[in-house]
Structure 1
Amino acid sequence: MIKKTLLLITLGLCSIQSVLANVTYTDVLYEQQKIANLTVLPKSLNFTVIGDWGHNGHFYQKDVAHQLEIAMFQTDGDFTISTGDNFYPNGVASVNDPLWQSAYEDIYHGPHTFEPWYVVLGNHDYLGNAQAQLDYSKKSQRWNLPARYYSKTFTLKGGEQILMVFLDTNTLNPEYKTREKYKATQGQNSQAQLTWLNSQLENSQARWKIVVGHHPLYSSGKRYGLTEGLRNLLEPIFEQNGVQAYIAGHEHDLQHNQIDGSKLDHFVSGGGSEARYVKQREFTRFAEATPGFLSFSINNEALKATAINYKGEVRYSTQKRFDQ
């Protein structure tokens, strides 16, 4: 009886995955599967953030991709950000690696996830051919990874600007300097990146300054207490230049962390497929070990972040005013 039940559950899960892989998106489907309580700010720039997703369709990756498509439609999303670890376990070998099709193109196949993707590299991406992920930007119109680190400025409907800086935190992470496994991450000049980062932030007149990297500076999950090295490098630069939000992945969960006395919000979106445990820490606003992603909405006056799980449920929402 137990074996029969397990077989039925397995077949049911396979059936769900098959449906998700072959779904045709229509106005009726979007309306039927609308994510309750997912709203955006007026006159806003809207985008989703997903990380640590490249498991070739396994570990709820297809379920999360489906809800990502629904959210992008519902919020009229402008783009998607990937916080790295784009392909497991060892990145890709080349721009023609089959993983591009089986772990990316075939998974995020909805019309609204064909809006631009702005990508950073994760540590697992460096275990393969990291340069191939940059080169894929020339092959794919939606995949944007023009350099190991880069910036993009967006203009809001009210005329104000948002500066988004995309880092390669693998090069900066002191932990990787002595680990043979991540030797490839040390081929870049870390000081040059820090100088560039400070210049980008210092010389920008943007109303909002947001930084994206793979590794979090604070974590409520597996790496709680293990992020000090990178934090000591980046946090002073962020604080000095008025960065309002830092968005990372690496931890396989969804988090919002806030340090007492700081105006800098820390978000983690690393639940693109596999989930890992979290705990309530002294700085935790929200943390949940669930596959899912974050949805952001920003206008002149406020930034809103919403955590959505693989079932299409809003698990958390927060909003901060520009002057907070």
Structure 2
Amino acid sequence: MTALLSPLGYLGYRVAAHNQWIIVTRNARSFDQGTEPKVFPAQSQLSMLVVGDTGKDTQRRAEVVEAMRRHSRWSRPDAAMILGDNFYERGVESVDDPRFDSDFESLFDRKSFDIPFYACLGNHDVGGDTDAQVQYTKRSQRWKMPSRYFKTSHRAGGATVDIFVLDTNTLDLDDDATDQQLKWLRAELAASQADYKIVAGHHPAISGGQHEVTPSVAKHLSPIFSEFNIDVYLSGHDHDLQLLDSGEGWLQVVSGAGSKLRSTSWIDETRFAEATAGFCWLVANESELSLSFYSSTQRLCTYIVPAKVPGPMLAIANA
């Protein structure tokens, strides 16, 4: 296959990888796999499953959801985060669209996942009726998208966690909608007294994945993340698993391998990356925030973000 594609150069390679003909992890470096977090009693931590780009019925999706189901039996998650592209290829047609059942309610069956699912909009979702995804919050006991962008707060033992969920699609417009959302985000971050500040959106601000980073997302969000000292930005869009260090005190998680898969690369900021279907498990407590990445068969990597203390920010360390 490589010999056939080589005359076409990078364009041919990119098209091939985009269509899942070639799936590779390029330029991988050695890394510390870390130690899997312990599960503490209820109310003493926040346990959250994080997965994106689940909106296409594939064998990989079935394997990822089954892995999440097995994981949930012992990790007892308090919530889940869905990072956009919830319904390929063009979102849903209305609040009555049967795909709310096939691609959410039945997929993440309540018996296995009796927890709130916080969701954001991806670029494929806005091809349909985006308001229907917001309105579905009123019909479902588990689907949580009260508006196109919103905040949710959680207890993690003696610590607090604020999660700010964005609609990153509007950031590319550079219009009133962009300004309004960014004004909201700044005000909410400035007012937050939480021990951990987490932002979630569909498009990454840093990535070595097949998609190039959307310039407007990096331009608008990266300075805000640094200014307000957030801990982690969660995103999908790239169909892989990645952890990247901004160098400005915040981490980028890419967990967009919920149904499709594409090649990825290690870049300067990469701390972990793998072109494999899977999900992320986020755990926060009084002493630390951990980020663990799983394929459909095994744990791949765990990183620890120590709790912040007065004075200079603690360095990020492997588990």
Are the equivalent residues in 1 in contact too, given 2:45–2:155 (CA < 8 A)?
no
Q: Which piece of structure 1 moves more, 98-107 or 144-153?
A: 98-107
Task: Return the alpha-carbon distance in structure 2 between the equivalents of residues 303 and 48 of structure 1.
Answer: 13
Question: What are the Cα deviations for residues 248-267 of structure 1, in whole angstroms up to 9, with x where unaligned?
Answer: 0111111100133x210100
The equivalences for 1:37-52 within 5 A come to 38-40=36-38, 42=40, 43-52=44-53
- Identify the residue that residue 204 of structure 2 maps to in structure 1: 216
CA RMSD between the two structures: 1.6
Counterpart position of 1:321: 306
Alpha-carbon deviation of 1:111? 2.1
SS across alignment from 1:287? strand
CA distance in 1 between counterparts of 2:38 and 2:229 reads: 24
Aligned identity (percent) is 34
TM-score of the superposition, structure 1-length normalised? 0.80
Shift of 1:85: 0.3
SS, match of residue 224 in structure 2? helix
8 Å Cα contact 1:41/1:304 also seen in 2: no
Q: Which amino acid aligns with 2:225?
A: F
Identify the range of structure 1 (62-71 vs 212-221) with the bigger mean alpha-carbon deviation. Answer: 62-71
Deviations 1:50-87 (A, max 9, x none): 100011x3141111111112222211100000000000
- From the superposition, tell whether residues 110 and 290 of structure 1 become closer, same or farther in structure 2 (CA, over 3 Å): farther
Contact 1:162 1:207 in 2 (8 A): yes
2:190 maps to a residue whose letter is E
- The reply on whether 1:309 has 2:279 as its aligned counterpart is no
Conservation of the 8 A alpha-carbon contact between 2:288 and 2:306: yes
The corresponding residue for 2:193 is 205
Secondary structure class of the residue paired with 2:198: strand
Is the CA contact 2:244–2:271 (under 8 Å) kept in the aligned structure 1? yes
Q: Does 1:246 pair with 2:233?
A: yes
- Counterpart of 1:134 in structure 2 is 134
Residues 1-324 of structure 1: pairs in structure 2 closer than 5 A: 38-40=36-38, 42=40, 43-55=44-56, 57-109=57-109, 111-158=111-158, 160-174=159-173, 189-224=177-212, 226-260=213-247, 262-311=248-297, 313-323=298-308, 324=314
Match of 1:5 in 2: none
How far 1:39 moved relative to its partner?
Answer: 3.0
1:95 Cα shift? 1.6
SS at match of 1:317: strand
Q: Residue by residue, what CA displacement relative to the aligned partner does 1:87-119 show, whole Å, maximum 9, x if unpaired?
A: 001111112212122222222115232310001
Change (3 A) 1:270 1:222: same
Which of structures 1 and 2 has the larger relative contact order (alpha carbons within 8 angstroms, sep 6+)?
A: 2
Output the CA distance in 2 between the equivalents of 1:83 and 1:70: 21
Q: Conserved in 1, the CA contact under 8 Å of 2:211 and 2:237? A: no
Give 3-state SS (helix, strand or coil) of 2:293's partner: strand
The gaps in structure 2 that reach 5 residues or longer are: 1-34, 309-313, 315-319
Between the aligned partners of 2:70 and 2:39, the Cα distance in structure 1 is 18
Q: Answer with 115-124 or 38-47: which moved more.
A: 38-47
- Give the TM-score, by structure 2 length: 0.82
- CA distance in 2 between counterparts of 1:105 and 1:163 reads 26
Structure with the larger helix share:
1
Q: Which residue of 2 aligns with 1:20?
A: none
Q: Tell me, which stretches of 5 or more residues in structure 1 are unaligned?
A: 1-36, 178-185
Q: How many residues were matched structurally?
A: 272
Distance 1:97 1:39 in 2: 39
* Larger displacement relative to structure 2 (204-213 or 39-48): 39-48
Name the amino acid aligned to 2:127.
L
Q: Distance in 2 between matches of 1:203 and 1:115?
A: 27
